[in-house]
Structure 1
């Protein structure tokens, strides 16, 4: 059976995470929420520790803690601290508490590197089912609320005038982000999840005339980085998660150069 090949499972896992991260990553870029993604992702280690202590599913533990972290950050925003300060404190505190909590788990051998940087080559059929279920959930949520999310992102006053509750749309983004963090843990690890969210969306931005085009292009760039990084890691014998993100960064650099060249060409054209 084709899914018995570990490279096929790894490729499908990478593509699934890329598809889930693409539309959400666009909103992270538009809303300038990069640190928000970081804080939620770093909390995942605490979720891993909780799952091991309670002998429950790693996915469930990470999902609950990531959602809790995202909700706490949303509630504390605007309460006297600058957002970047609050997110910086929450992100690094969550990671530190998670690593300390993991050290107290006895009787279980824990590969911290796999959780920090991912272990996509160890993805099994059950993991694949979880990843694609999470991807379907995120894509369904994004498709259902796309217009409302865009309106709330562009202008909160316009959203209120249209009968849209920006707080509710923020909650939907929060839920989606927690799901993406939970499904991406196995692929790129907690330290690189934010990069997989932001880099493909940022690379797609110079070539996109509409939000929908940016989301689709970000998905294509993310999938290319996932499959290409997997192949490169296999050939070069390098860590897979970091190699995927490195390829995404190269694609971003190329997209930036191409975007700058195109803008210069437009400016150099004589007026008609």
Structure 2
């Protein structure tokens, strides 16, 4: 079944959609888009290090993404303007990663594949890593869903309920790093945050509660992956950007439908 590269690509896209959906909802609710940018941009440094040390790209990307995410987490609330801090970290990490990649001798590296993804080159091992990462993220989010919602709604309310907002933020940080590491092969570091935000934002006008928003976001993300893959094959366009373009189109449709429904009421 998995000998067909198109089937592997489709399953890879679905795995990323499932992993990104619940996390993307919290990224939208907490306005963490720039946080995701800093983490994903750092992953290219992880790619360079993994190639230099001859280790798995997933391992290198996950390690550096975790370091970046934990660094941002540690610096938050310490008097820094977060938008400025995240902007500095995001672009600095990407630049350092690209420079580091240029120093690799005797290693052939396709930067475009890591920047924009290469879903058609997903192997069986990549597919296993993607779905294991998705299972880990979904399990963590499901186990901490109520606490995460409470911490997102109101930090003081969370403390009064026995929920530590910092701990829940750390869980989101770890989940974000995992999603970045598993998604790098599919959509690339420059488009990972788009797959986190756009399906979740598109689900918002259609959802009645947080749980339905996560389910709708997963559906929109899965549709984006399948339809984007089809568009890429049909018109010979880059696959990762095609997936994001389809997600953007679905976002426009969902927002339009949501407004029409509100007017009808």
TM-score bracket, normalised by the shorter chain, equals: over 0.9
CA RMSD of aligned residues (A): 0.7
**Pair 1:240-2:235 in alignment:** no
Provide, for residues 117-147 of structure 1, a one-character-per-residue CA deviation record: whole Å limited to 9, x for no partner: 0000000001000000000000110111111
Within 5 Å, give how 1:130-209 maps onto structure 2: 130-209=129-208
Measured against aligned partners, the alpha-carbon deviations of 1:91-133 in whole angstroms (never above 9, x if no partner) come to: 1111001000100111100000000000000000010000000
Cα deviation code 1:171-195 (max 9, x no counterpart):
1100000000000000000000000
Q: How far is 1:84 from its partner?
A: 1.1
Segment drifting more, 254-263 vs 114-123: 254-263
Q: Give TM-score scaled by structure 2 length.
A: 0.99
In structure 1, the partner of 2:83 is 84
Asked if the contact 1:77–1:86 (Cα under 8 Å) also holds between the matched residues in 2, the reply is no
Q: CA deviation at 1:257?
A: 1.2
**2:62 matched to which residue of 1?**
63
Q: What is the aligned partner in structure 1 of residue 73 from structure 2?
A: 74
Structure 1 position 113 matched with structure 2 position 112: yes
Q: How far apart are the structure 2 equivalents of 1:67 and 1:153?
A: 21
| Stretches of structure 2 lacking an aligned partner (at least 5 in a row) | none
Q: Which residue of 1 aligns with 2:7?
A: 8
Residue 210, structure 1, aligned to residue 209, structure 2 = yes
Larger Rg belongs to: 1
Shift of 1:263: 2.0
- The TM-score normalised by the length of structure 1 is 0.96
The 10-residue stretch of structure 1 (71-80 or 239-248) with the greater mean CA deviation from structure 2: 71-80
- For residues 195 and 42 of structure 1, what CA distance do their matches in structure 2 show? 13
CA distance in 1, matches of 2:152, 2:218: 20
Structure 1 unaligned segments of length 5 or more: list them: 267-272
Return the alpha-carbon distance in structure 2 between the equivalents of residues 66 and 241 of structure 1: 20
Look up the SS of the partner of 1:30 in the other structure.
helix
CA contact (8 A) 1:14 1:223 kept: yes
1:256 is displaced (CA, Å) by: 1.2
Residues matched between the structures, number: 265
